[in-house]
Amino acid sequence: MPPIPAASAAVSNATPDFSNVCAVVMAGGSGTRLWPESRRDRPKPFLPLLPDGRSTIAATFARLDGLVPPERRFVVAGRSFASLLADALPELEPRRTLLEPCGRDTAPCVAWAALEALQVDENATLIVLPSDHLVRPDATFRATLAQAVRLVDEDETRLVTLGVVPTEPSSAYGYVEIDEALSAELPDAYVVRRFREKPDAETARQFLESGRFFWNAGIFVWKARRILDLIRQFEPELGATFAQIAPLVADADANGRATADDPTFVRKFSNAKRISIDYAVLERAPNVVVLRAPFDWDDLGSFAALERTLISSETPDSQSVVDADGNVATGADLLVENARRSFVRVLPSSETPPKRRKLVALVDVDDLLVVETDDALLVAKKGNDAALRRLVERLKADGRDAYL
């Protein structure tokens, strides 16, 4: 088939029904590629990573304004992050706070959120959002989600995922291979041929050159009942677990309690199969559609992504500097002598009173990553996320938990 054509302005004339739309924000991810900034007790969704100083979870929640009212928004996070979540999202209703007793990947997370959404509306459409993405502008994002809801309104068996047109042969993202356009009236919606996992560099280059692949943004829209039916069909064991959890969710809702406080729920959820929603359902299901995401998008899961954000930001952080040699610094004064393309990030000191702003000098070096926190200093070559993961694994193996 031909490569992806240019974005179209065509949209369905049907008015989406937002009266039954709920949304769930998934606040997971350990952020090993952001060590030493991201730690177990303060993972990446709660860090002030955006140029305006907000956390990504706060920005994700606010991005739903005007689309889904706060009382129909859920957030799933680990139980240990309850206080972080309350601080980051004071507007989040306690009854919409879903605290996992342990992480079981995204399929159990989605199943639980779908059950909770059905307590709000028995025909709920569910928007599923990761909490660690950069999206600009918000208005275009909301318009795209409205189009996704229209697609589900038209066919309630449909599963819609948003796809980002690749700008480089990245090995950091999963890919979606497209088939034909869904219809002449909706040229930006495509039938999914198959999902492809994160490729090696050469395969990523082939994907980019073919023009038939989107990056999988991990943003989904579907009927809550439909996704539960498909989980039961493709993962019977997991489906049986949530069939047992369903009456617990209904009972908690009827009595104004949190499902997560039920010890039976805790036991059953903790024993649920660990599997992603991609593996559990999307790679097997019929009638999956990918909708082009016409907004700027990035997954803020690495320092390389943070650097891109600062360079491209129209409203850069006042604590950030981008110099003529491509060096980027955040939270530090920068002095360079024959140095290019390095990224320096100094986190504010937790001491009271805070220390004076630090000067970082780079001499005769290129492509360095320098990150300093209160208790750790990282100096590395840019672009080697695999080495950062190995470093975190070594800290675990050496028992240096204080740095994790």
How far are the Cα atoms of 24, 163, 320, 344 from residue 150, in angstroms, in the given order? 18, 17, 41, 44
pLDDT digit string, tens, across residues 155-169: 999 999 999 999 999
Half-sphere exposure of 95 (CA within 13 A, CB side): 15
Question: Average pLDDT for residues 297-306, to the nearest whole number?
Answer: 89
Residue predicted with more confidence, 147 or 185: 147
Res. 18 pLDDT band, cuts 50 70 90: confident
Residues of the chain with pLDDT > 70, as a percent, come to 94
Most confident of 87-91, 302-306, 321-325: 87-91
CA dihedral 310, 212, 130, 202 (to 10 degrees): -70
DSSP per-residue string spanning 213-277: EEEEEEEEEEEHHHHHHHHHHH-HHHHHHHHHHHHHHHHHHHTT--GGG-HHHHHHHHTS----H
Q: Could you give all domains of the chain from N- to C-terminal order, each with its CATH number? A: 18-299 (3.90.550.10), 303-382 (no CATH)
| Confidence at residue 322, expressed as pLDDT on a 0 to 100 scale | 87
**Which residue carries 């004076």 as its tokens?**
356
Q: For the ranges 95-99, 227-231, 283-287, 311-315, which has the lowest average pLDDT? A: 311-315
Question: Average pLDDT for residues 192-220, to the nearest whole number?
Answer: 93
Question: Average pLDDT for residues 17-25, to the nearest whole number?
Answer: 92
DSSP per-residue string spanning 355-387: PPPEEEEEES-BSEEEEE-SS-EEEEETT-HHH
**Which residue carries 């198959």 as its tokens?**
194
Res. 299 pLDDT band, cuts 50 70 90: confident
**Furthest CA-CA distance within the chain:** 66
Residue 77's DSSP bridge partners are 99
Bridging pattern class, strands 73-78 and 21-26: parallel
pLDDT digit string, tens, across residues 315-334: 555 578 889 999 999 889 99
Res. 144 pLDDT band, cuts 50 70 90: very high
For residue 390, is pLDDT > 90? yes
Q: How many residues does the chain have?
A: 404
Residue 291's DSSP bridge partners are 162, 189
SS3 state of residue 15: coil
For residue 77, is pLDDT > 90? yes
Question: Average pLDDT for residues 48-77, to the nearest whole number?
Answer: 93
What is the distance between the terminal CA atoms of the chain, rounded to a whole angstrom? Answer: 48
Res. 6 pLDDT band, cuts 50 70 90: low
Q: What is the mean pLDDT of the chain?
A: 91
DSSP per-residue string spanning 31-88: -GGGTTTSBTTB-GGGS--STTS--HHHHHHHTTTTTS-GGGEEEEEEGGGHHHHHHH
What is the spatial distance between Cα 174 and Cα 103, in angstroms, rounded to a whole number? Answer: 21
Res. 11 pLDDT band, cuts 50 70 90: very low
| Confidence at residue 10, expressed as pLDDT on a 0 to 100 scale | 46
| Confidence at residue 71, expressed as pLDDT on a 0 to 100 scale | 94
pLDDT digit string, tens, across residues 108-121: 999 999 999 999 99
What is the spatial distance between Cα 177 and Cα 199, in angstroms, rounded to a whole number? Answer: 13
What is the spatial distance between Cα 246 and Cα 311, in angstroms, rounded to a whole number? Answer: 47
